[in-house]
Structure 1
Amino acid sequence: MGYRFVIADDHPLFRGALQQAIAGFRADCEVLEAGDFDSVKKLVAEDPDIDLVLLDLAMPGASGLSGLVALRGLNPAMPIVVVSAYDNPQTIRRALELGASGFISKSAKLDEIRKAVQSVLEGAIHTPEEIDLGEEADPEVSDLIARIQTLTPQQTRVLAMLAEGLLNKQIAYELNVSEATVKAHVSAVLQKLDVDSRTQAVILLSRMGTDPLSEGV
């Protein structure tokens, strides 16, 4: 059986370049493409047999690293490799801390992309060579990442849906659970994030959006 990949990027030319890299990796790969975040979420939610997602951080419908958080909630076991032009050490480190299995710079050559894909499929964590990731300089972000890491997959999905502005009844429909169950999840999320309202939770999550990508670029 061949591998099933998802290439999630809003630029068709770059999706083509990634597909070319994967085609050179193995001949029997199946590649699914998504040009916006809603499309990649749908693919991940409906297909449990995806072996790897190559995710751009700046897709329509996603806000930077919060998109990674949302996909991790949909399928925690599925490897996600972030592919981004925002390849500063801070963004790479935060992506890995939030559950990415690897990071590839958009400036990487095809052979490097194939090598990264191979290493992640073998269970390794891939980072660009000769980059010192350093340590988190913002204690608030460090605390937020640690709190997000304590969320269960279902709580992570609920947090992502709160960020999308969904009401409890809409979340209940999406998750096929009762509204009472959703309220319990929301309460647990707020408690773990140490905030008093869903609005505060969304504001907090937004710090994993554009802020991490704007610094050091």
Structure 2
Amino acid sequence: MTRILIVEDHALVREAMSQTLARLEPGLECVEAACSEQAIAMLEQHDDWDLAVVDLMLPDLNGISLLGIMAKRFPDVPAVVVSAFDDQASVRRAMRAGASGFVSKARSGEVLRDAVRNVLDGGVYFPDGEPRVAAGAARSGGSLAERFGLTAAQCRVAELLGQGKTNREIAELLGLSEGTIKVHMSAIFRAMNVRNRAQALVLISRRNSRP
């Protein structure tokens, strides 16, 4: 059963998101927290969370701070930010803090479900629904190997990661099992000194943007 933690201080918004995400799949459970303190307590009490949906404007610790805590203490729980602030600066701050997705509150429930589904499948969801690092990703293998000491196999996985592919899609494209891809991902994250795929994408994006 999929369990999602919704961290949002407005009760009506929390309830609406819970109802929206409940349509994602049968048996999906949404648990609500009104602030960062409640969210951290819930994350500590249970270890079976599949994803967190986090607002940036919270009454105690803001969403960026909560993302930082989650990245350090609960690195296996991906986070999707849902915020009224959808400017590029806010998106970049959220991604740098470890968010795996970002959805504007002005978007529809269908967009939120798509984002959550993508992240649950191991992907990263940007505001326009497409990763921003796709351009030039296929040229990144050599530079990634040189900079991070990746093997040829890891470079192939990193290239597809840079194109926004999920673990399942990467496995199908390379003819490998998802378990093998997860092993490669863990090795890539260690080599890049990052905790999750969102932070890895930031490094790949920076590398690809260089002449």
TM-score by length of 1: 0.58
Query: Aligned AA for 1:45?
Result: E
Name the CA shift for 1:36/1:130 in 2 (closer, same or farther; >3 Å): closer
Structure 1 spans left out of the alignment, 5+ residues = 135-217
Distance 1:80 1:64, change over 3 A: closer
Shift of 1:63: 2.8
Greater RCO structure (CA 8 Å; 6+ sep): 1
Q: Separation in 2 of the partners of 1:55 and 1:25?
A: 18
Q: 5 Å matches for 1:78-117?
A: 78-117=77-116
The structural deviation recorded for 1:132 is 9.8
> Once the 2 structures are TM-superposed, how far is the Cα of residue 81 of structure 1 from its aligned partner?
0.7
SS of the aligned residue for 1:97 comes to: helix
Residue 24 of structure 1: aligned partner: 23
What's 1:127 paired with? Answer: 126
Q: Which amino acid aligns with 1:24?
A: R
Mapped partners of 2:40, 2:67: distance in 1 = 10
The answer to whether the Cα contact below 8 Å between 1:68 and 1:98 also exists between their aligned partners in 2 is yes
Q: Is the 8 A contact 1:89 1:133 kept in 2?
A: no
3-state SS, counterpart of residue 53 of structure 2: strand
Between Structure 1 and Structure 2, how many residues are aligned?
Answer: 133
Q: Which secondary structure state, in structure 2, belongs to the residue aligned with residue 76 of structure 1?
A: coil
Structure 1 residues 88 and 39: CA distance shift in structure 2, 3 A? same
SS at match of 2:107: coil
Amino acid of the residue matched to residue 56 of structure 1? Answer: D
One-letter amino acid matched to 1:75: F
- Cα pair 1:54 1:80 within 8 Å, conserved: yes
Which residue type is aligned with residue 53 of structure 1?
Answer: A
Alpha-carbon separation, structure 2, partners of 1:118 and 1:130: 12
Whether the aligned pair in 2 keeps the contact of 1:89 and 1:131 (CA below 8 Å) is no
Q: Is the 8 A contact 2:49 2:77 kept in 1?
A: yes
* CA RMSD, Structure 1 to Structure 2 (Å): 1.9
Could you tell me how far apart the structure 2 residues matched to 1:131 and 1:4 are? Answer: 25
Question: Runs of at least 4 residues of structure 1 off by over 2 A?
Answer: 130-134
Output the CA distance in 2 between the equivalents of 1:61 and 1:47: 22
The answer as to whether partners of 1:79 and 1:100 remain within 8 angstroms in 2 is yes
TM-superposed CA distance for 1:69, in Å, is: 0.6
Q: Following TM superposition, by how much is the alpha carbon of 1:27 offset from its aligned partner in structure 2, in angstroms?
A: 2.1
What amino acid sits opposite 1:29 in the alignment?
L
| Aligned 8 A contact 1:89 1:132 in 2 | no
1:74 & 1:24 partners in 2: Cα distance?
30
